[in-house]
C-alpha cells in the first residue's frame, strides 16, 4: 500500500475504502498503524476536533469522484487530506515517524476522472450509508448504455456549475402557430444569475407577444394561453423587433461571463433561434459542458436530458415539460404560454441542479423504484399523468394492487 518513486509528487484522490481498510495495515510500526486506523474511523472523521475538520461545516467533507470510462462514482479522500493527516499525526507526536504515503498506483489522477464533487457527512452513520449506497449504484452502472452515462455526466456537471454560481442561466421558449410553425407568436425567458458581491440569487422573467398574431391562436393541438402569463406583465413587440430583442437579450447576458441557454428538448427552440425571423447570435454554440468552470462561452443545457438522466432513461426517451414538472413536484398552470414554459423549464433545472448527486436524488425522490441491477425508475401511469383514468386499464384496479 505504501511506496512511490522518491521525490515524486502526485496529486489526486484515494478511494475511501482503500485508505480505511488497507493503509494502516501497510504501516511498518504496529502502534503507528493503530493510531492511523483510529483517526480514520467513521465517527472520528465527523468529530469537530478532527484535523480535517473545516470551520463552518458540521462533519467531514469528502469527495465523490466519477470515473471517465465507467461512469462509476466512488467516495474519496483528496491526496491533500491524506498528506495533512500524516503530517499532523507526526507533528502532534502521535506517530514515531512520518507515515509513508499510499502507493501511487492507488492514486486516482485527473486523467481518469470525469467529475468531482464535494459532500459533507455529519456523522459516522451517514458516512457508512454513503459507502454502501455508492457501491450499490456503481454496480447498477456496469454495462449501462453509453448515452445514459453521457446524460449522467452532464447532470453532475450542471450541479457543479450551479453550485459554483458560474455564469448566467437563461431558459428560452417559443410559441408558434400550430398550423405554421415558422410563425412565431410568443417568446418567453427566465434567468438565474448571482450577485458578484453577495452571491445571492437574482431572477428575471419576461414574456413577449408579437403584435399582429392574435388571430393565430392555438387551440386544436395545444391550448392557447398567450394572455395567461403568471410571472409579470406581458410585453407586446413588433414582428420586426423580435430579432433585435433576442439579440439584445443574449448579448447583454453574455457580458457577465458564460451563458447557459436552457431548453426542454432543445431541437425546435434552437431551430427557431437560427431561423431567418430571429437569427440569434449563436456563434460558437457548444452542446458539451466544459470540465472546468468557464469564464466565457455559450452553452446548451437540456432539461429533458437532465431529467432523463435522473430517471435512468437512455437517449431517445424523454418526458414532456408537464410530466417532468409533475414528477419533480413543481406546480404548473397555463402551460404553452412561452413565458410560463420558460419559467418552469428553468425551475426544473434548478430543482435538479440544487439537489443531491444523481443517485442519492433519485432514491430520495422515488425510493425503491428501480429494478434490481438497473437505473430506470419504474413509474405508475397516474404518477406521470394527472388525467390518467385507471378504469381504462385492463384487469384489477391498478392503484389497489400491491407494488
Max Cα-Cα span within the chain: 85
Angle at 290 between CA 287 and CA 292, to 5 degrees: 165
Name the 3-class secondary structure at 23: helix
Q: Which of 43-47, 69-73, 311-315 has the lowest mean pLDDT?
A: 69-73
Q: Per-residue confidence at 203, pLDDT binned at 50, 70, 90? A: very high
Beta pairing class for 201-210 and 235-237: parallel
User: Whole-angstrom Cα distance, residue 157 to residue 151?
Assistant: 10
CA 183 to chain centre: 34
What residue spans in the chain does CATH classification 3.30.420.10 cover?
A: 163-384
Q: What is the pLDDT of residues 227-248, one digit of tens each?
A: 999 999 999 999 999 999 999 9
Give the number of other Cβ atoms within 10 Å of residue 255's Cβ: 9
Q: Does domain 163-384 have CATH number 3.30.420.10?
A: yes
Quick check: 206 and 198 in contact, CB under 8 A? no
Put simply, whether the predicted model's pTM sits higher than 0.75 gets the answer no
Cell numbers at residue 344, please? 418552469
**97 has pLDDT over 50:** yes
193-202 average pLDDT score: 94
Mean pLDDT (the chain) is 85
Compute CA distances 9 → 6, 38, 103, 109, whole Å.
9, 26, 12, 12
Which H helix or E strand runs over 262? strand 259-263
Q: Which three cell numbers stand for residue 74?
A: 466512488
Please state the rounded mean pLDDT for residues 14-34: 91
Express as a percent the part of the chain with pLDDT over 70. Answer: 87
Alpha helices in 255-387 (DSSP H): 267-274, 303-311, 321-327, 338-353, 358-365, 381-384
Amino acid at each position: 500500500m505504501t511506496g512511490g518513486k522518491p521525490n515524486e509528487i502526485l496529486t489526486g484522490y484515494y478511494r475511501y475504502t482503500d485508505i480505511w481498510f488497507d493503509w494502516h495495515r501497510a504501516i511498518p510500526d504496529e502502534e503507528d498503524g493503530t493510531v492511523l486506523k483510529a483517526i480514520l474511523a467513521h465517527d472520528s472523521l465527523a468529530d469537530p476536533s478532527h484535523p480535517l475538520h473545516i470551520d463552518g461545516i458540521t462533519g467531514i467533507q469528502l469527495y465523490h469522484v466519477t470515473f471517465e470510462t465507467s461512469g462509476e462514482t466512488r467516495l474519496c479522500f483528496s491526496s491533500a487530506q491524506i498528506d495533512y493527516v500524516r503530517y499532523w499525526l507526526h507533528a502532534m507526536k502521535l506517530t514515531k515517524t512520518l507515515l509513508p504515503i499510499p502507493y501511487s498506483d492507488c492514486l486516482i489522477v485527473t486523467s481518469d476522472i470525469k467529475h468531482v464533487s464535494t459532500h459533507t457527512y455529519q456523522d459516522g452513520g451517514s458516512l457508512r450509508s454513503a459507502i454502501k449506497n455508492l457501491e450499490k449504484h456503481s454496480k447498477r452502472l456496469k454495462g449501462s448504455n453509453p448515452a445514459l452515462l453521457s446524460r449522467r455526466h452532464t447532470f453532475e456537471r450542471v450541479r457543479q456549475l450551479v453550485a459554483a454560481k458560474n455564469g448566467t442561466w437563461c431558459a428560452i421558449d417559443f410559441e408558434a402557430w400550430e398550423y405554421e410553425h415558422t410563425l412565431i407568436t410568443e417568446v418567453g425567458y427566465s434567468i438565474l444569475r448571482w450577485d458578484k458581491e453577495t452571491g445571492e440569487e437574482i431572477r428575471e422573467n419576461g414574456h413577449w407577444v408579437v403584435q399582429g398574431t392574435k388571430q393565430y391562436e392555438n387551440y386544436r393541438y395545444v391550448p392557447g394561453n398567450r394572455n395567461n402569463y403568471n410571472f409579470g406583465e406581458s410585453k407586446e413587440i413588433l414582428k420586426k423587433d423580435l430579432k433585435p430583442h433576442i439579440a439584445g437579450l443574449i448579448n447583454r447576458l453574455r457580458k457577465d461571463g458564460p451563458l447557459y441557454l436552457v431548453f426542454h428538448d432543445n431541437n425546435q427552440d434552437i431551430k427557431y433561434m437560427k431561423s431567418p425571423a430571429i437569427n440569434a447570435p449563436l456563434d460558437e454554440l457548444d452542446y458539451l459542458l466544459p470540465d472546468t468552470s468557464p469564464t466565457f462561452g455559450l452553452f446548451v443545457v437540456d432539461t429533458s436530458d437532465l431529467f432523463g438522466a435522473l430517471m435512468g432513461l437512455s437517449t431517445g426517451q424523454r418526458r414532456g415539460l408537464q410530466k417532468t414538472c409533475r414528477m419533480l413536484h413543481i406546480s404548473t398552470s397555463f402551460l404553452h404560454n412561452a413565458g410560463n414554459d420558460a419559467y418552469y423549464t428553468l425551475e426544473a433545472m434548478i430543482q435538479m441542479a440544487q439537489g443531491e448527486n444523481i443517485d442519492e436524488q433519485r432514491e430520495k425522490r422515488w425510493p425503491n423504484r428501480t429494478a434490481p441491477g438497473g437505473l430506470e425508475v419504474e413509474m405508475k401511469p397516474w404518477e406521470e399523468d394527472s388525467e390518467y383514468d385507471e378504469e381504462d386499464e385492463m384487469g384489477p384496479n391498478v392503484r389497489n394492487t400491491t407494488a
